[in-house]
Amino acid sequence: MKSISVVGMQWGDEGKGKVIDLLSVKAQHIARPQGGNNAGHTIVVQGTEYRFHLIPSGILYPNTKCYIGGGTVIDPTSLLSEMEALRQHKISFEKRLFISPYAHIVFPYHRQLDKLAEQAKGPSAVGTTGRGIGPCYADKAARNGIRVAELVDPELLKKRLDEVLPIKSKELHETLSEAEILREYVALGQKLKPFVAPVEEMLYIARKNHEMILFEGAQGALLDVTFGTYPYVTSSCTLSGGAASGMGVGPTAIDEVLGVAKAYTTRVGNGPFPTELSLDELSRFPDHSASREVGTTTGRKRRIGWLDLVLLKHTACLNGVTKIAVTKLDILDGLDEILVCTKYKGLDRFPATGLERVKPEYKTLSGWKTSTKQARSWKDLPKAAQQYMHCIEQALGIPVALISVGPERESSFWREA
């Protein structure tokens, strides 16, 4: 069976978790390659809402095995809270959830450094979640990180803390208590130890056995640390290529790349946003609660804008997208007309810098002014909604394979259906 990498084509929050949930029906393995609990996926199944930050959303299916890769950074307390939420919902994950020993660990000093850095930047702050993700990745690159492999071995953990804490104490201008951190994290490590496994070898064997693997990307392409809207980015590789490096598999392990895009554009935090709605335009959209545009992780209202085809062409290129999933089409149901950005004035491509200065040029399409929430196939969509999908396909030269018209699992359908 083909293995698929599911990636976000915008600034995150595109609905990747829901797409993974749908694909998990046929998959045996779901792998989360990067990021930490700064990302969030929300799934609604039979009226029950499930929120995930590190655990792949495919865990809801009993036939799957789920993996947290070496490219992630793990806050043990947050991960254990997710596990407890699953237990409360009576979802078994023992012998189905596996953690790579190569993943790095978020410590309290990472969260402190994250908040201090944002405060110091003032108006130019990135707008991070404050969860310590960036400082943890920075320590990884600086070789001051502590991994799962050390977390689950108290002797090794103490040795690494002996080396790292003097550095962190100097950075924070305070003396960090090694005894306190060691006591807390030894206990956390022992709780996670039963889930630590040779993830890389397990996925290699799965691939050799022709079993389907889903690579569950976090955040979106324009938050990529290299190719995103730098410096307003996350601290990991959010592209399809990051699935291979973050899971420790070769690029030949990925057969298809399914890019997920909202029917419009959103962004959380600071940074340039060419198609962001004016206050007058925003008043025509459903409010943030009705449109489900409040962050799963942060609780912050998302910034909203028109669909940006220049942006999507760029991220399709970066990811090698082979098919597209369009989500939240229903949010556009009430609009008389819909604007789509087709180019940036004076530019022939998406710029590496200066995005805040670009002037979007729009094409105006007719709205459909009728509910799509009950649509369960292509033929159920209003003609104007079908034309909207064709507009995306023609601009990108990539087929729209999946369409979502609501938060529930049954509110999505494949184009062929």
Lowest-pLDDT range of 5-19, 28-42, 210-224, 229-243: 28-42
**What is the pLDDT, as a whole number, of residue 218?**
87
Catalytic position from the list 13, 21, 75, 114: 13
Run of H or E residues at 362: strand 360-366
- Judge whether residue 109 has pLDDT over 90: yes
Compute the average pLDDT of residues 258-282: 93
Is residue 30 very low, low, confident or very high in pLDDT (cuts 50, 70, 90)? very high
Tokens of 351: 């710029």
pLDDT > 90? residue 287: no
Q: Over range 390-409, report the average pLDDT.
A: 95
The 10s digit of each residue's pLDDT in 126-163 is 656 778 999 999 999 999 999 999 999 999 999 999 99
Predicted pLDDT of residue 342: 97
pLDDT above 90 as % of the chain: 78
- How much of the chain exceeds pLDDT 70, in percent? 96
- What is the band of 48 on the pLDDT scale with cuts at 50, 70, 90? confident
Quick: pLDDT tens for 367-380.
999 999 999 999 99
Q: What is the mean pLDDT of the chain?
A: 92
Query: How confident is the model over 281-306, as a mean pLDDT?
Result: 79
Give the pLDDT of residue 417.
Answer: 47
- The residue-averaged pLDDT of 99-115 equals 96
Among this protein's residues, is 114 annotated catalytic? no
Domains of the chain with CATH codes: 4-99+203-256 (3.40.440.10), 104-192 (1.10.300.10), 263-414 (3.90.170.10)
| CA gap 99, 195 in Å, rounded | 6
Question: Span 9-35, mean pLDDT?
Answer: 92
According to DSSP, residue 156 is labeled: H
The whole-angstrom separation of Cα 153 and Cα 74 is 16
pLDDT at 96: 96
> Which pLDDT score is estimated for 295?
65
CA atoms of 374 and 55, how far apart (whole Å): 30
29, 41, 104, 110: the active-site residue: 41
25, pLDDT greater than 70: yes
Selected residue with higher pLDDT from 1 and 315: 315
Residue 44 has pLDDT above 80, yes or no: no
Burial 61-88 (b: 16+ CB within 10 A, else e): beebbbbbbbbbbbbbebbeebbeebee
Average pLDDT of the segment spanning 98-117: 95
Is position 336 annotated as part of the catalytic site?
A: no
Alpha carbon distance 389, 299 (integer Å)? 30
**Mean pLDDT for the stretch of residues 232-257:** 95
Place of tokens 């977390």: 151
Strand segments, DSSP code E, in 186-279 are 213-216, 256-262, 265-267
Q: What pLDDT was estimated at residue 229?
A: 96
The string of pLDDT tens digits covering residues 323-349 is 999 999 999 999 999 999 999 999 999
- Name the helix (H) or strand (E) containing 113: helix 108-121
Residue found under tokens 């018209």 = 405
